[in-house]
Amino acid sequence: MFTAENFRRIYDAENRKGLDLANRYFPSLEPLTLAVRTKVQDIRDHRAARTTMNAEEFQATLLVLQNDSPL
């Protein structure tokens, strides 16, 4: 049966095989996907550096990162 869950299973299985279905069928989304991945990595890096700054500075810069849309 064609359900969202079954499509997701197929998609994940094909990606594990090395086929990038997203770029194959939706090449115009690649720049947006990369922008989102970059933003997520920036936020993760910022959270990893939490111990090097005070709480107010951390929260302020985190909000800037979260509100700065990559799109």
65: nearest Cα among 27, 38, 25: 38
Hey, what amino acid is at 71? L
Rounded mean pLDDT for each run of 10 residues along the chain, 71 residues in total: 91 91 89 90 92 90 84 65
Cα gap 6→8, rounded to integer Å: 5
pTM: 0.65
**Helix/strand/coil percentages in the chain, nearest 5:** 80, 0, 20
